[in-house]
Structure 1
Amino acid sequence: MKTAFIARTALLSLLLSASVLADDDCSEPASDWQPRETLRQRVEQQYGWSVQRIKVDDGCYKLRGTDRRGNAIEARYAPASLRLRTLHVNFGDDGDARDYLVSPGAE
């Protein structure tokens, strides 16, 4: 009885973790993708980021660069909609997360 419970729990955990990991991939058709240069221009103009590299990773655009304060950035975008999927910021000693928080009513 206890073994069956442990087996079911392990299987459920495995299935849930697989679905979470699969969500990281982008699945938009390549024919709908926008050029990388469009993404580069957008983030440079809107956020003041300096883009070092944009590559395709798991069907998403993976952008590496720095923000206007020099903090290292890694972001993933859906290539057709250019919607931000994930953002990782490595703040330096004087980094300030307030630049990345949306104030209520701002959107």
Structure 2
Amino acid sequence: MKSAFIASTALLSVLLSGYALADDDCSDPVSDWQPRETLRQNVEQQWGWSVQRIKVDDGCYKLKGADRKGNAIEARYAPASLRLRTLQIDFGNDGDAGDYLVSPARQ
């Protein structure tokens, strides 16, 4: 009886942790989405990024481009609020993450 409880508890925790990790999709209603051009202008002005492409992926805006030092960037934004959800940066050999540890308003 005790082993059945432990097994069911372990299974439940695995299922719940997988559910929490799988919630990368955006669920903003399309009627609330802001234009892609607004996102492009925001990241170019605020961060100095050059945007190569913005597409819709799992309900989010997926942006690909480069930062002002030429590092490759892939970012996901909520389309209604344009809130950053994920950011991946491929730093070159002499890359420095210091630029991303301070908000752009403080630079």
The TM-score with structure 2 as length reference comes to: 0.88
The secondary structure found in structure 2 opposite 1:8 is helix
Aligned-residue identity in percent: 69
What is the aligned partner in structure 1 of residue 16 from structure 2? 15
The secondary structure found in structure 2 opposite 1:70 is coil
Name the amino acid aligned to 2:22: L
Name the amino acid aligned to 1:8: T
Stretches of structure 1 that go unaligned for 5 or more consecutive residues are none
After superposition, give the CA deviation of every residue in 1:72-101 in whole Å (9 maximum; x if it has no partner). Answer: 101000101111111111100111100000
Equivalent pairs, count: 103
Stretches of structure 2 that go unaligned for 5 or more consecutive residues are none
Name the amino acid aligned to 1:11: L
After superposition, give the CA deviation of every residue in 1:7-32 in whole Å (9 maximum; x if it has no partner). Answer: 3202221122112312x111111001
Question: Would you say 1:101 and 2:93 are equivalent positions?
Answer: no
Moved over 4 A (4+): none
The secondary structure found in structure 2 opposite 1:80 is coil
What is the aligned partner in structure 2 of residue 42 from structure 1? 42
